[in-house]
């Protein structure tokens, strides 16, 4: 069994990226499990808080899940042509503590996808993640890209993916990533 964990970079209840992550969990190939992690509850990074209180529990729980997983799927919104602050903040916290970024991200197979109501998907946000993942020494899977444009039209009011073409693209992306991850085990 290949175990993946996915994280949406949005806190909004009606998030298109959280909907994309839920759709991904239902489309993984046989023999693959995709757990949905959360950045909810992770406070703003403050070195003084870290020095006084250590790593917050929400960070520790998520970091342990990432470490235990065979691969990580980042599902990123795009805010102002870049990475959402709340998502970058969570990754900054996850890079702290014993072992730093190495323990959670070094050599970890990671893939990035995203959804946006705009016409360009999340290309700029996905590109902005690249130097961060390189800095961590992550095994960034570049076997495909998935940027869901006009995502407000491919998900219904309950966040269900209704577009067959996007479903097919997502399933293909997940298959390729899962094969990459399994090949590293």
98-113 pLDDT, tens digit per residue, is 888 789 999 999 999 9
Predicted pLDDT of residue 15: 97
Predicted pLDDT of residue 184: 85
Taking 80 as the threshold, does the pLDDT of residue 57 lie above it?
Answer: yes
10 Å CB burial of residue 90 (0-12, 13-18, 19+) is buried
pLDDT tier at 66, thresholds 50, 70, 90: very high
**What is the percent of the chain where pLDDT is above 90?**
95
In 10 A of CB 179, how many CB atoms? Answer: 15
Taking 90 as the threshold, does the pLDDT of residue 171 lie above it?
Answer: yes
Distance between alpha carbon 17 and the CA centroid of its chain, in Å?
A: 9
Q: What is the pLDDT averaged over residues 81-91? A: 97
Taking 90 as the threshold, does the pLDDT of residue 21 lie above it?
Answer: yes
Residues in the chain, total: 185
Predicted pLDDT of residue 8: 98
Predicted pLDDT of residue 144: 85
- Look at residues 183, 161, 163 and name the one whose alpha carbon lies nearest to residue 26: 161
Taking 80 as the threshold, does the pLDDT of residue 185 lie above it?
Answer: no
- Domains delineated in the chain: 2-162 (3.40.50.360)
Whether 58 contacts 40, CB under 8 Å: yes
Q: For the chain, what is the mean pLDDT?
A: 96
Predicted pLDDT of residue 12: 95
Taking 90 as the threshold, does the pLDDT of residue 97 lie above it?
Answer: no
pTM of the model: 0.97
């Amino acid at each position: 069994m290949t175990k993946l964990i996915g994280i949406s970079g949005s806190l909004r209840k009606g998030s298109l990226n959280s909907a994309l992550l839920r759709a991904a969990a239902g489309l993984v190939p046989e023999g693959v499990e995709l757990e949905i992690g959360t950045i909810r509850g992770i406070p703003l990074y403050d070195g003084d808080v870290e020095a006084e209180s250590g790593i917050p529990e929400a960070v520790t729980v998520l970091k342990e899940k990432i470490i235990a997983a065979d691969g990580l799927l980042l599902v990123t919104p795009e805010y102002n042509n870049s990475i959402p602050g709340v998502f970058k903040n969570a990754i900054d916290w996850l890079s702290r503590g014993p072992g730093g970024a190495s323990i959670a991200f070094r050599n970890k197979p990671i893939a990035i996808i995203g959804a946006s109501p705009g016409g360009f998907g999340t290309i700029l946000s996905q590109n902005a993640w690249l130097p961060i993942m390189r800095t961590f020494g992550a095994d960034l899977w570049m076997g495909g890209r998935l940027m869901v444009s006009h995502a407000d039209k491919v998900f219904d009011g309950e966040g269900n993916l209704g577009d067959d073409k996007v479903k097919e693209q997502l399933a293909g992306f997940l298959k390729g990533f899962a094969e990459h991850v399994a090949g590293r085990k």
